[in-house]
Chain A
Amino acid sequence: MAADTQDASADAGFGRISRTKDVAFRLIALAATLVGIVSLALLLANVTVDAVGWLDWQFLTNPPHPNPYEAGFLPALIGSIAIMLLIALITFPLGVGAAVYLEEYASDGYLTRFIQLNIANLAGVPSVVYGLLGLGLFIGLLNIGYGTILVAAFTVSLLILPIVIISAQEAIRAVPDSQRQASYGMGATKWQTIRNVVLPRAMPGIMTGTILALGRAIGETAPLIMIAAPTTVFGAPTSLFSKVSAMPLQIYNWASYPQTEFQYGVVAAGVVTLLVVLLTMNSIAIVIRNRYQQRT
């Protein structure tokens, strides 16, 4: 207190300066927060404007064409959707199974911690490395064939599996323990409790996480390039062993064309289509999450 009165004059000055600093810092932090969001908004506005006139019914229903005015996106669109459906079929049961094991069965031992650390690490492995895994394992070793739907789906499934597991674990962890106890109290077995109590309660969260992970899968390009998926195909895939293209691959291919009609027109239309599909999926995830939140 004695020191306080001694430095009273200095204190007043200090107080004023630091308040200015305080306000300035707040504004700088806010500006920093908005930098990324605003730049992305600007870029999206640009690409949307460029896509106008190019993104029409003909673009969505035509195959690719060297003439920009006839170029279409259909095979890539169908290819992406086909790959994504397969990925969903593969990752959903595997991801939920792994999450149920880790949350409901596994004891907190060495193996569990190792698996957990391993999953966290897998989530950070560059996607291009997963492409090499697909190339070496599914094409080199199992000989499924370059660039087929099956190889593409397996490869990208392994890539998003850690994300699906982590989000499913969070959803399962969020189920209150009292509900499990109630189920056991009624004489239910562990499996009955999981099937009738835990999974139904966790399902909206699991669905949300899976859809978001699928959204990531649909944008993946590098792994598909590494498994030699063609950047351009002219027809929709007919079997699991068909060579398949996907929206991001077609965009990558078009972006390398020198003509401005491609650079600022056709690619922009492709980008907007891809983003609209992504946005739709994310909205579905948000709707599921919100409906679930309202119910509880």
Chain B
Amino acid sequence: MSQPDFSHDGIRTARGTVFRYLFMLCALLSILTTAAIILTLVVDAIAFFQTVSPVEFLTGTRWSPTNEPIAFGVLPLISGTLIITVGSAMIALPIGLLTAIYLSEYASERQRAYLKPALEVLAGVPTVVYGYFALVYVTPALDTFLPLSTFNALSASIMVGIMIIPMVSSISEDSMSAVPDSLREASYGLGATKFTVSTSVVVPAALSGIFSSFILALSRAIGETMIVAIAAGQTPRMADVADPAGMFLDSIQTMTAAMVQIGTGDIVGQGVAYKSLFAVGLALFIITFVMNLISEIVASRYREVYR
């Protein structure tokens, strides 16, 4: 009598085991992806470094992968990337932080129900659309009172900044909401106003989450591609610290934009320019990966504190 039941159970268990390993494979695919990214980048970057010395790559101040004289110094691209990162940070960090404070401390439930999804839309707009906006609406608008080039770092920075606002505001707001109400009440009990509670209690208590959101947002700005490829132009050059206005008003080129430029060119030939893609990609991957890791570690440490 129990015999058929037994075999049925056996099948059930076997099926369960099969699915368990199937699902595990899916989860392990993420590790495979990371490994594949690193391998692809490293293999071709090594091929590149056999032609161009890593020292020349890392210290060279001229980037000209296709036009004579050929040069593969990555510094102008890093400097362009920094300009965009700093420019967008000046917009996104203060605005994102204030937004998080408003949503967490001031907004009513009803306001939040409208504002949060509206902010999420900012991150959902395709970046090619932002790039187009920067080129055809923002630049001409700014051009009426600033001596702007058609392609410039300023419009691109503004658009990247707007795009990353939600990354700052949502993570910062999460960490502010996690600050225990007892801290706020203690402060109110001492006669503090909402302003004092927000800036002197909630923000310091949520600092690790805020810090983590800042790093993540900067990492997104570094990796952002289409906005800068469309609106900031294709002029790799070193930033002149003595001329901060010129840095933003003229065309620059970021690491990502340089990759797009080579990518839209003739990459079928496996030349040095093609391989330089992977060297720049590797540099970009390392920078953003380290930043994401720091952000994740800082955020998880804070989570443990308040849980």
Contacts and interface: CB of A to CB of B under 8 A. Distances in A.
A39 B37 contact: no
Contacts of B24: 101, 105-106
B276 to A, nearest CB: 11
Contacts of B22: 97
Contacts of B76: none
20 contacts: A18-B193, A22-B195, A33-B115, A47-B137, A95-B26, A97-B22, A98-B27, A126-B222, A126-B224, A126-B225, A126-B284, A132-B37, A132-B277, A132-B281, A161-B30, A189-B13, A226-B263, A255-B230, A256-B230, A275-B125
Interface string B1-27: 000000000001101100110111111
Interface in A72-104: 93-98, 100-102, 104
Contacts of B19: 191, 194
Interface string A113-141: 01101111110111111111101110011
Interface stretch (B39-47, B57-65, B181-189, B242-250): B39-47
A81 to B, nearest CB: 15
Given A33-B102, A115-B28, A191 B15 contact: yes
Question: Which among A33, A133, A161, A248 has the highest number of chain B CB atoms within 10 Å?
Answer: A33
Contacts of B260: 128, 222, 225-226
A228 interface: yes
A124 B292 contact: yes
Interface string B240-260: 000000000000000010011
B133 interface: yes
B124 A133 contact: no
Given A97-B25, A101-B24, 19 more contacts: A22-B194, A25-B194, A36-B162, A36-B166, A43-B137, A93-B26, A97-B23, A119-B30, A121-B293, A121-B296, A122-B34, A124-B219, A124-B295, A128-B223, A129-B284, A132-B41, A189-B12, A189-B16, A219-B124
Interface residues on A, range: 35 or more
B128 interface: yes
A133 B43 CA distance: 11
Interface stretch (A63-71, A235-243, A263-271): A263-271
A33 B34 contact: no
A125 B194 contact: no
A251 interface: yes
Interface in A211-244: 212, 215-216, 218-222, 225-226, 228, 231
A171 interface: no
A121 B131 contact: no
B194 A26 contact: yes
A101 B26 contact: yes
Contacts of A278: 124-126
Contacts of A135: 40, 267, 277
B149 interface: no
A40 interface: yes
Interface in B255-307: 256, 259-260, 263-264, 267-268, 277-278, 281, 284-285, 288-289, 291-293, 295-296
Contacts of B220: 124
Contacts of A221: 126-128, 225-226
Contacts of A98: 23, 26-27, 29-30
Contacts, number: 267
Interface of B: 12-13, 15-16, 19-20, 22-31, 33-34, 36-37, 40-41, 43-44, 94-95, 98-99, 101-103, 106-107, 115, 118-119, 121-122, 124-129, 131-133, 135-137, 162, 165-166, 169, 193-196, 198-199, 216, 219-220, 222-226, 229-230, 256, 259-260, 263-264, 267-268, 277-278, 281, 284-285, 288-289, 291-293, 295-296
Contacts of A122: 30, 33-34
A66 B256 CA distance: 28
A225 B230 CA distance: 13
B162 A225 contact: no
A120 B131 contact: no
A192 interface: yes
A156 to B, nearest CB: 13
B26 A94 contact: yes
Contacts of A189: 12-13, 16
A287 interface: no
A137 B223 CA distance: 21
Given A46-B137, A248-B126, A125 B288 contact: yes
Nearest to A272: B129
Given A132-B281, A221-B126, A35 B95 contact: yes
B225 A215 contact: no
A125 B223 contact: yes
Given A26-B106, A136-B278, A219-B129, A118 B99 contact: no
Question: Which among B13, B16, B28, B94 has the highest number of chain A CB atoms within 10 Å?
Answer: B16
B168 to A, nearest CB: 10
Question: Which among A29, A96, A136, A251 has the highest number of chain B CB atoms within 10 Å?
Answer: A29
B80 to A, nearest CB: 15
A162 interface: yes
A264 B285 CA distance: 35
A36 B259 contact: no
Nearest to B41: A132
A136 B162 contact: no
Contacts of A231: 264
Contacts of B28: 115
B191 to A, nearest CB: 8
